[in-house]
Amino acid sequence: MLIGLLGPEGTYSQKAANQLDINAQLEYFDDLEDVVESVIEGGVDCGIVPIENSLEGSVGITLDALKEHDINITGEIIVSVGHCLLSKGCMDDVKVILSHPQALAQCRRFIRKHFKNARTQTTGSTSHAAKLTCEFPEMAAIASRESAQHYGLDILADNIQDHKENYTRFVVLGKQIPAPTGHDKTSIIVHLGHDRPGGLFDLLGEFAIRNINLTKIESRPSKLGLGDYLFYIDMEGHQSDLPVKDALEGIEKLADQIKVIGSYPKR
């Protein structure tokens, strides 16, 4: 299997890919949009992208791609994230700290406490930060322990994220819908259209009356106008299960638009 993911080597996306299939061939891309395009064009069998982090919330690029493109979530992977400060120099040498914006945000307190005068710089991925750091002792990267080994960097500090319980949920993107397993999750996007009192209440009622458990609900701007929102909803069950199927039919009568973006095994 050929999996597309964010590169270069050493990213948390690679850890997710290894959890999915340790024997898969990996193709690295510079950004998440390229991963999505490779799935759409058939250049890879599937793609792996982050969708939410337990500290910093959802990844907007992934949510937008699921709305805009004809792709499905076919699986999910949960990765425990432990950030390290990596460098060729020592703590006193560090003047610039590089990493992905999410990683920098997850380590905000550590940076403020130990490197208040250091400059932070964003990169396309944590492993890209590690790669750039290799040649300059005044630079440090926030990345994984695996990145330190791969790029020959020293670990100056370990587990530096602001909260020790730090997890990123990755989704597998593909074109097929997996068959039901009896332990599934379905994800949808809903646009209610005209705002009205009780609109969201009626929407949620379609799940409540069928005893369907929602594992996530999030609003995100529709980009159609100020105050206009989409709802991203994850629920237990497969779209072919009768209760879920009935709920989706009920929502169609209430919403301006509904898009099922995947039914897949729950982790």
User: Residue 228 and residue 64: Cα distance in Å, rounded?
Assistant: 15
C-alpha angle 162-168-174 in degrees, rounded to nearest 5 = 160
Residues 144, 100 share a domain: yes
170 counts as catalytic? yes
- CATH code, domain with 250: 3.30.70.260
pLDDT higher at 2 or 199: 2
Let me know if residue 126 belongs to a domain.
Answer: yes
- pTM beyond cutoff 0.75: yes
- Whether the bond between 8 and the residue before it is cis, its omega within 30 degrees of 0, is yes
Starting at the earlier edge strand, list the strands of the sheet with 96-99.
119-122, 96-99, 139-143, 84-87, 154-158
- Lowest mean per-residue pLDDT among 3-7, 47-51, 221-225, 256-260: 221-225
Let me know if residue 133 belongs to a domain.
Answer: yes
Q: What integer pLDDT is reported at residue 246 of this predicted model?
A: 96
Task: Please check whether residue 104 is in contact with residue 142, taking contact to mean a CB–CB distance below 8 angstroms.
Answer: yes
Q: Examine the pLDDT at 64 and tell me if it is beyond 90.
A: yes
Residues 202, 135 share a domain: no
By C-alpha distance, which of 16, 45, 80, 30 is closest to 173? Answer: 45
Residues 113, 50 share a domain: no
Q: Tally the domains of the chain.
A: 3
Integer-rounded Cα Rg, in Å, for the chain is 20
pLDDT in tens, 113-155: 999 899 999 998 999 999 999 888 999 999 999 899 889 999 9
Q: What integer pLDDT is reported at residue 225 of this predicted model?
A: 83
Let me know if residue 96 belongs to a domain.
Answer: yes
Q: Which of 110, 170, 207, 231 is catalytic?
A: 170
Residues 32, 76 share a domain: yes
pLDDT in tens, 175-222: 989 999 999 999 999 998 777 788 889 999 999 999 999 999 999 998
User: Residue 97 and residue 109: Cα distance in Å, rounded?
Assistant: 14
Task: Please check whether residue 267 is in contact with residue 76, taking contact to mean a CB–CB distance below 8 angstroms.
Answer: yes
Residue 118, judged by CB atoms within 10 A of its CB (0-12, 13-18, 19+), counts as: middle
User: Residue 89 and residue 85: Cα distance in Å, rounded?
Assistant: 11
Last residue of a domain, one of 106, 139, 174: 174
pLDDT in tens, 33-58: 999 999 999 999 999 999 999 988 89
Contacts of 242 (CB under 8 A, 6+ apart): none
Residue 117, judged by CB atoms within 10 A of its CB (0-12, 13-18, 19+), counts as: exposed
Residues 111, 41 share a domain: no
Which tokens is 170 given? 């990755």
115 counts as catalytic? no
Which tokens is 242 given? 């009768």
Let me know if residue 146 belongs to a domain.
Answer: yes
Let me know if residue 179 belongs to a domain.
Answer: no
C-alpha angle 241-267-47 in degrees, rounded to nearest 5 = 95
Mean pLDDT over the full length of the chain: 93
Residues 197, 211 share a domain: yes
pLDDT in tens, 110-119: 999 999 899 9
Mean pLDDT of 51-66: 91
User: Residue 185 and residue 265: Cα distance in Å, rounded?
Assistant: 6
Residues 115, 54 share a domain: no
Residues 260, 194 share a domain: yes
Residues 214, 229 share a domain: yes
- CATH code, domain with 89: 3.40.190.10
Residues 98, 73 share a domain: no
Residue 254, domain extent: 184-265
Mean pLDDT of 152-166: 92
Residues 53, 88 share a domain: no
Parallel/antiparallel/unpaired status of strands 84-87 and 72-80: unpaired
Length of the chain: 267
By C-alpha distance, which of 130, 146, 53 is closest to 98? Answer: 130
Q: Which of 110, 168, 207, 231 is catalytic?
A: 168
Let me know if residue 46 belongs to a domain.
Answer: yes
The residues pairing with 84 across neighbouring beta strands, listed in sequence order, are: 143, 158
At 68, the pLDDT band (50, 70, 90 cuts) reads very high
